Amino acid sequence: MIQITELIDHLHSVDAKGNIILNQLSDDDITELNNATLWQSSGVRKHMNRIVSFGDESWFKTREKNIIFSGEKSFGIEVKSAILLAHKIGFILGSDGLAWNTLYGYSKFLTRLEKYLYDIGYRSFRELNNVPELILRNLADKFLTIGTDSGGLDILKTNRTGQNFLESIQVIYKYGLINSVVYYTFTDAVAALETPSIDGFSHSHPVIPTGVLKKLIKKAGEAIKRVEIALPEWEKANANLINSIENKAINNWKPNTRLVSITRNCINDGEYKHLKNLFKQFYKFEIYVLVYVLAFTGMRQQEALNLEFGAATKSKDPDNPIYHIKSILQKTSPTPVTLNWVGNQDVYNAVCLLERYNKSLHKRAEALLHNFSDIIPESTKHNLEYGLKDKYLFGIKAYTLTLAFREPKLRDSWIEGNGFNLKTFSIAIEEADIIQLNHLGCNFKSVGGSNRGAPYRIGDEFNFTAHQFRHTFAWFIIANNLGDLDDIKYQFKHLASAMTMVYSERGIETIDEILSIIEGFETQMTQQIALALAVDAQEGKLSGGGGKRLIKSANSLVIEMKVPDEVSDKPKTEFMKQIHFKDITEYSAFLTRNLKNIRGLPHGYCTGGTDCKIKNAAVPVGCVLCGNYIVNKKHLPHWRAMENQALNKLAIYEQATTEQQRPYKLMADSWRITASTARDIIDDIENGNRQAEKVTKS
């Protein structure tokens, strides 16, 4: 029998430059190679445990998605050969292969193209190399635009589908199945049809509005709290069930008896009713824990789903504990890589609770196997034995009396009783949510299908996807830095530590991805702040030393700044330079480029960056005259609160006797300064036009 190494040798040759080229095979070659053994697969279901052969229409791989091929003879061997070579040896002699998950996506596009070409008379990708360019372009346009029901891609309805398709056909292009003319014909066709993302930043997965996320986190927190309360009593009931299983005699049981029949016979009606009522508290428990992991760590979906027992850890410092959730990356690296994602106490407690629950379920599975392995179905026996070897947090489907192990993945659609699905959540969109989505440029229900690009309206249910959590976490990092998080921020106090972790672990694909998302949001939000400040400056509705500078420059369209004197021999010599702008748009663009170090505080914006000597001032009177400090209308509530607080304290102070006032004199002076400063700030912004006129005349 042909082994995989011999098969790979049959499939390829190497050119003079070291490029791997796919060999053209005869029908006899194909017949012989189809019997070649690829690997042994395994999984929680018995049918997954099998020898995978090259000729199989489905390739199973342990803990991976199955790749399904078509039955077309010529095309089938070309796609299979390309996928196998790309996975095992890459495209250049000595290079690494591609991840299975990547090739799973590529195979779907290649198989669809293969079927389409087969239906219109082609029998090999190589035949495209001899097609006239005009006919080839028409073929490409039709395949890219016709509906999926007709065998096409319909890229106008699905975001980034065209780009993903081009990445896929690079495989057959690099292996020499299609030439450059064919490849670039498809590239040009996609470019003519797809709209590029704005500023190169993809909005393919919108953020979850803060209001919606708060409701979801609250709902998850309430569910997890119910489990925390019910778990001790459930553990006792589960222990009683396990004890009954272990002491149940096997008398006249029929072969292939279902687990539920066994366990129901192990306890009486009262015990069953008690366990059933307790189990109701655990409905959707796993999906709520997954929501916490995704929301509070920034992990990818599959990293979160592959969490194992022992994932939650915390530092030993009792005064300032740091919480981590440990993921093991296997798909983005040739060898497994462990990453400790910074979390908070909420996610730490939730993961620990799920682990405790799962360990009790493992004990139930062990008891069933030990006592009834001879009479349960072989498929059930395999499921329990295989599942017990894994320690996945999200790999168990629990029932009142039984359990089954499953692959740790989200279900695609919601079915009654299947709680492990984000589609189970029903949270209506409110006006504030729509305002936020519009502000971020991502108010659309879906990136594909009939709802692609359709905006949300008040009352619509939000469409949750796992990747949105990662985008939202990245946006929170920037929003927190800019002072835009409201009362949800207490649950995200770990954002600064999370950002440090992201930077320190650069070079790992999962980290680089979230970093690019963060940088995209940073650019987008800085542009929005710059535009808002430019508009406010034109109207004179800014305060603070930096705000008054912006008002002056916005009205004159001239800004003065210190620049190094490159002519002078003296070190660190600076001189003043004037920059003139032709219009407010050019002025806004300048602000965008120079607000990279902007930091949002409850009371204003600081543009001083690392040079600022005042950090997180609670009473920021000392900031007001600083040329790097800007206040606009969004900060007025804070200044009004400061004014009211200072005036209230002064009122109490002034009602006291002279003797009573004496110890508080310095504090009273501070309250007067605070009240006066706050009033000046409020007047500057509320009476902006008058202030602007004064600045302009001066």
Spatial separation of the C-alpha atoms in residues 435 and 47, rounded to whole Å = 50
User: How buried is 659 (Cβ within 10 angstroms: 0-12 exposed, 13-18 middle, 19+ buried)?
Assistant: exposed
Q: Does 231 share its domain with 367? A: yes
Q: Which residue has the higher pLDDT, 397 or 207?
A: 397
Mean pLDDT of 603-616: 67
Q: Where residue 566 falls among pLDDT bands split at 50, 70, 90?
A: very low
Number of domains in the chain: 4
- What does the CA dihedral 194, 196, 197, 199 come to, rounded to 10 degrees? -170
What whole-number percentage of the chain has pLDDT above 70? 75
Long-range contacts of the stretch 636-641 (C-beta < 8 A, 24+): 636/681, 636/682, 636/685, 636/686, 638/602, 638/603, 639/603, 639/678, 639/681, 639/682, 640/678, 640/682
Mean pLDDT of 228-239: 97
Q: Does 232 share its domain with 341? A: yes
Q: Does residue 628 lie within any of the structural domains?
A: yes
> Residue 610 is encoded by which pair of tokens?
């690392």
Mean pLDDT of 665-675: 87
Instruction: With both helix axes pointing from N to C terminus, report the angle between 180-193 and 133-145 in degrees, rounded to the nearest 10.
Output: 50
Spatial separation of the C-alpha atoms in residues 323 and 383, rounded to whole Å = 33
Mean pLDDT of 72-77: 75
**pLDDT value at 168 more than 80:** yes
Q: Which residue has the higher pLDDT, 535 or 37?
A: 37
pLDDT at res. 692: 46
Spatial separation of the C-alpha atoms in residues 258 and 106, rounded to whole Å = 40
Q: Does residue 578 lie within any of the structural domains?
A: no
Among all chains, which residue has been given the structure tokens 């006792």?
236
Q: Where residue 452 falls among pLDDT bands split at 50, 70, 90?
A: low
Give the DSSP per-residue string, 233-285: HHHHHHHHHHHHHHH----SPPTT--HHHHHHTTS-HHHHHHHHHHHGGGTTH
In the sheet with 312-314, reading across from the earlier edge strand, the strands are 312-314, 323-329, 337-343
Length of the chain, in residues: 698
Mean pLDDT of 370-395: 93
Nearest by Cα to 358 from 268, 425, 276, 289: 289
Lowest mean pLDDT among 170-174, 454-458, 595-599, 628-632: 595-599
Spatial separation of the C-alpha atoms in residues 592 and 533, rounded to whole Å = 10
**pLDDT value at 417 more than 60:** no
Instruction: Taking the CA atoms of 675, 604, 555 and 627 in sequence, report the sign of the dihedral they define.
Output: positive
User: How buried is 311 (Cβ within 10 angstroms: 0-12 exposed, 13-18 middle, 19+ buried)?
Assistant: buried
Mean pLDDT of 465-472: 84
**DSSP type of residue 209:** P
Q: Which residue has the higher pLDDT, 563 or 529?
A: 529
Q: Does 384 share its domain with 498? A: no
Angle at 417 between CA 415 and CA 420, to 5 degrees: 75
Q: Which residue has the higher pLDDT, 198 or 77?
A: 77
Mean pLDDT of 641-650: 86
Among all chains, which residue has been given the structure tokens 């469409």?
463
Lowest mean pLDDT among 169-183, 341-355, 356-370, 454-468: 454-468
Q: Which residue has the higher pLDDT, 480 or 183?
A: 183
**pLDDT value at 573 more than 50:** no
pLDDT at res. 492: 52
Q: Does 446 share its domain with 419? A: no
Q: Does 438 share its domain with 379? A: no
What whole-number percentage of the chain has pLDDT above 90? 38
Q: Does 387 share its domain with 458? A: no
Give the DSSP per-residue string, 174-192: HTTSS-HHHHHHHHHHHHH
Domain holding 494, by residue range, is: 431-520
Q: Does 254 share its domain with 322? A: yes
Antiparallel, parallel or unpaired: β 604-606 and 629-630: antiparallel
Mean pLDDT of 546-575: 57
Q: Does 174 share its domain with 234? A: no
Spatial separation of the C-alpha atoms in residues 615 and 601, rounded to whole Å = 10
Spatial separation of the C-alpha atoms in residues 673 and 620, rounded to whole Å = 11
Instruction: Return phi, psi of residue 461, to 5°.
Output: -80, 135
Query: Which of 196, 220, 252 finishes a domain?
Result: 196
pLDDT at res. 10: 92
Q: Does residue 567 lie within any of the structural domains?
A: no
Q: What is the per-residue pLDDT across 267-317, written as a single tens digit (0 to 9) for each?
A: 999 999 999 999 999 988 999 999 999 988 888 888 899 999 999 999 888
> Residue 543 is encoded by which pair of tokens?
């305060």
pLDDT at res. 201: 44
Q: Does 391 share its domain with 445? A: no
Q: Which residues contact 71 (CB under 8 A, 6 or more apart)?
A: 57
Q: Does 178 share its domain with 224? A: no
Q: Which residue has the higher pLDDT, 639 or 15?
A: 15
Angle at 308 between CA 305 and CA 313, to 5 degrees: 110
pLDDT at res. 224: 96
Spatial separation of the C-alpha atoms in residues 194 and 190, rounded to whole Å = 6
**pLDDT value at 137 more than 90:** yes
Lowest mean pLDDT among 170-179, 417-426, 478-487: 478-487
Q: Where residue 609 falls among pLDDT bands split at 50, 70, 90?
A: low
Nearest by Cα to 210 from 421, 461, 469, 452: 469
Q: Does 414 share its domain with 443? A: no
Q: Which residue has the higher pLDDT, 506 or 512?
A: 512
**pLDDT value at 689 more than 60:** no
| Whether the Cβ atoms of residue 198 and residue 521 lie closer than 8 Å to each other | no
pTM (two decimals): 0.70
| Whether the Cβ atoms of residue 235 and residue 360 lie closer than 8 Å to each other | yes
Q: Does 415 share its domain with 451? A: no
Instruction: Calculate the alpha carbon distances from 672 to 491, 623, 676 in Å.
Output: 35, 16, 6
Q: Which residues contact 32 (CB under 8 A, 6 or more apart)?
A: 2
Beta bridge partners of 328: 338
Per the prediction, the chain carries an average pLDDT of 81
Query: Which of 163, 196, 229 finishes a domain?
Result: 196
**CA atoms within 13 Å, Cβ hemisphere of 499:** 17
Q: Where are the alpha helices (DSSP H) in 146-179?
A: 161-174
Query: Which of 196, 229, 250 finishes a domain?
Result: 196
Among all chains, which residue has been given the structure tokens 């004014």?
643
pLDDT at res. 70: 81
Mean pLDDT of 347-364: 97
Q: Which residue has the higher pLDDT, 247 or 200?
A: 247
